[in-house]
Structure 1
Amino acid sequence: MRILLAEDDADFAEALIDALVRQGLAVDWTRTLAATEEAIQQASYRLLLLDRQFPDGDGASIVPRVRAVQGDLPILILTAMHQVAHKVEGLDAGADDYLAKPFDMAELMARVRALSRRPARATPTMTLGNLTFDFESKQVYVRGEELKLPRRQVLVLEALCFRQGRTVRRHALEQAVYGLTEHVESNALESHISRLRRALVEAGVEIHTMRGIGYVLKEVSPEE
């Protein structure tokens, strides 16, 4: 299960990530609200662990915007703001749960398990040209036939399909494919996209390079 941790305290975040990973969870980590919103737009998560206090604002302020992208993503606020009024603010903003620091790790894990047991939303498929992408199973179909792709190429395609017709910035695409902590070779993304382009020649779609910005997935025009 992949979750997103939004926390600007590096020492606390690293300790928490270590505990979560020991529970078999995959964790992406963001340190600002801007990075958190970008991650939410580029990847699908089963849970968001969200601090309240960031250099660029109050974590509760982005809850409605997170809901606009991933409507029923469970959100657990973790914060040192422990007064009842603070909890009311966070829950009224749309968070599902609120846990004040310091907390017992066993209690956090119990809450994580409880929130993650909620049924995942029925994720639709996307069809463009002759391409169909199933976001739930991450299966790819061209003209109704399943197209087997390596995992990294599937993740590239998923991010592009999620925002089809809109530019996905290079950095955001790397985060979607590699997570936020993996080392990325300078030409690795281009290599995956090059191979993916060759695999999609019959799909009726093209991956356009927006030089200096990122990539966009578009249907091939009839005249092309």
Structure 2
Amino acid sequence: MRILLIEDDKVLQSVVQQSLTDKGHRVDVAGDLSAAKYMWHVQCYDAVLLDLNLPSSDSQTAVPANGLHLLQERRHKGDKTPVLVLTARNRTDERIAGLDAGADDYLGKPFDLAEVDARLRALVRRSQGEDSTTQLAHLVLDRKGRRVLVHDQPLNLPAREFEVLSELMSPPGRTLSKKELSDKLSDFDEALVDNALETFISRLRKKILNSGATIRTLRGLGYLMEEERP
């Protein structure tokens, strides 16, 4: 998944970004209102992790509810990106305000990093109408458990390869261009180059060779996940 983390606390930024990156996600970080507005406008995200108490980089005094205003603005423009709001644990009014503004879920601070990942994945599955498990021939992808099975045997994949396979199987039979895959798997400041993507695809093809599933290259169009033809 490609995630936008909107959080001004530098320590929390670093910890959450590293945790989600270790899970194989691509995480862009915005530390103030202006950066958040710009990044959310120019890039499509699978999910947004939003702190409501977001300062502004403008010369004016920061307003505590800037994150809430940003969320309202995006929803008014028809943006349906799943949003997980971070709130102070005892601020019930803040949680209610976030949900009323269009947030999909909230998480109180302090929080467990594993729960952040689990909630984000659940929101994305819900928004895309996906089950947590997808099967193609004898290949099974379990997003919730972050595991892959071939003929019921576990297939160990590095985080980046798992994310590539997850995108290709969301759902199978859908053609994804190199740009679409690159956007999903890149950081805001560093794109995944074609050679690296081709390397991931090549490795995956070898690892799923006996699964009955295959990754086809459609020249000029991208990649397609489908069952092997007899």
1:146 corresponds to which of 154, 174, 182: 154
Distance 1:144 1:171, change over 3 A: same
Give the aligned partner of residue 206 of structure 1: 214
Distance 1:21 1:62, change over 3 A: farther
Give the aligned partner of residue 13 of structure 2: 20
Give the aligned partner of residue 49 of structure 1: 50
Q: Say yes or no: does 1:220 pair with 2:199.
A: no
Shift of 1:33: 4.0
TM-score, normalised to structure 2, is: 0.59
Structure 2 matches for 1:122-201, cutoff 5 A?
124-201=132-209
Given that 1:138 and 1:158 are in contact with CA atoms closer than 8 Å, whether structure 2 keeps it comes out as: no
CA distance in 1, matches of 2:158, 2:113: 31
Tell me the percent identity: 27
Shift of 1:188: 0.7
TM-score, normalised to structure 1, is: 0.60
1:113 corresponds to which of 111, 114, 117: 111
Shift of 1:136: 1.4
Q: Secondary structure at the match of 2:166?
A: helix
- Tell me the number of residue pairs that the alignment of Structure 1 and Structure 2 aligns: 182
Shift of 1:110: 5.8
Q: Secondary structure at the match of 1:208?
A: strand
Distance 1:150 1:65, change over 3 A: same
Shift of 1:60: 1.9
Give the aligned partner of residue 84 of structure 2: 74
Q: Secondary structure at the match of 1:193?
A: helix
Give the aligned partner of residue 35 of structure 1: 43
Contiguous gaps of at least 5 residues in structure 1: 8-12, 68-72, 78-86, 99-108
